[in-house]
Amino acid sequence: MQQRELGRSGLKISNLMLGGNVFGWTADESASFRILDAYTDAGGNFIDTADVYSRWAPGHHGGESETVLGKWFARSGKRSLIVIATKVGMDMGDGKKGLKPAYIRQAVEDSLRRLQTDHIDLYQSHSDDAETPIADVLGAYQQLIEAGKVRAIGASNYTAARLTEALRISAEQGLPRYESLQPLYNLVERENYENTLEPVVVKEKLGVIPYFSLAAGFLTGKYRNPQDVKGKARAGVVGKYMNPRGLEVLRMLDEVSARLQSNPARVALAWLMARPSITAPIASATSVHQLEDLLESTKLRLDNGSIETLNRASAGKIAA
């Protein structure tokens, strides 16, 4: 698996990031351990999680994914091989949310305990907090970096304007800067990233680690009509792609896949990896078999014709 540098952080990461949202949720502990072992055996070293994963599941309170990862670190002894990324800021209940400095200091200790580690490689603001001054947020992160608890920081779900403002404040006040952005970006969700965020990350040389790289499974090709998503957990998300443009993207994925003797999921991930501004797309797996299929995308090189075919099919309202 190829390695790339994440922004200017000095972190060397694999070009496919393993999504940890499923750990302790749709992948139980033993399945999660098998997936993690297989990922690292294949040369992967970059894992994404968040304190809030998987609070949405019945009976869960958040922290389930981090807890599974912590147990795996303790069992496998592989913590030193992993660049672990987690996030803070989403609602954890009981008033635990946002990016106020006191809460960041509390939340990082909770994440460190669950992860059974003494540092987090990439600590990300999971969502912008308009009520807390950006300088205060960055100042809290600076304290964590100076204490050795965090190596680098990143932003997720930020607008271009707020990301630009945060980078300006970092430069003017000598505070740590966001070295990465985790946006929503894939073949059927291009407009916001390419029109507004991409110019910022390219100019500022930020790493980009997009989530929903396979559009909640739509780009795997397993959902072709409304009946396919009926009763599924992500029916609402996938259903919005069931339109002429989405189906045309699937048709072109099928065409390119057939020509390259591959499949839609691998091609969709390879399309992301081929975009110069993308450092590593995030993809999740609930079994080793699923993971092996995703790993094949790191070996797939799309020719210019295939990229242009997919670009045309998925263009939407992309700025020229």
Q: 261, exposed or middle or buried, with CB in 10 Å at 0-12, 13-18, 19+?
A: exposed
- Which among 252, 264, 273 is positioned nearest to 293, based on CA atoms? 264
Q: 240, exposed or middle or buried, with CB in 10 Å at 0-12, 13-18, 19+?
A: middle
- Which among 254, 260, 250, 188 is positioned nearest to 225, based on CA atoms? 250
- Determine the Cα–Cα distance for residues 2 and 15; give it in Å rounded to an integer: 6
Please confirm, yes or no, whether 241 is among the known catalytic residues.
no
Of the residues 53, 158, 178, 193, only one is catalytic, namely: 53
For tokens 């304290």, name the residue: 143
3-state helix, strand, coil in the chain (%, to 5): 45, 15, 40
Residues with a known catalytic role: 53
